[in-house]
Amino acid sequence: MENGNIAFIAGHARLPEGMAAQSVFNTLTVTAEVDRKYGVILQASCTLATEHGREYIHHLLRGYSLKDSVEIILKAVETHYHGKAKNAILAAIKDLHIQFHTHFLRNK
């Protein structure tokens, strides 16, 4: 797919002790395909151990704009995700938000 208006960005955070994904990764990564102009998350994924968890994060984040306050996205995760990786997911989303603003809003 070639579309100059879509960017791929990633946010990272440390995983808590004792998680299944920690045996493979030391950090949790949330990745997103984002519309550069509007900041809307088109696709999202993360390095959770289960496919179900990764799909859930995709559906939870899709449609939010990284141009808006990150608090809106964090509230959705706080409300709907109740797994052990919640804090790591929240931290990775904050980093994702920073990465978007650093690369696509501050350069204008």
The 3 state secondary structure assigned to 46-62 is: ECCCCHHHHHHHHHHHC
Domain 6-105 has CATH 3.90.1010.10: yes
Q: Name the pTM for this structure.
A: 0.85
- Domains of the chain, by residue range, sit at 6-105
> What does the pLDDT look like over 43-71, one tens digit per residue?
999 998 899 999 999 999 999 999 999 99
Q: Looking at residue 75, what is its pLDDT? A: 98
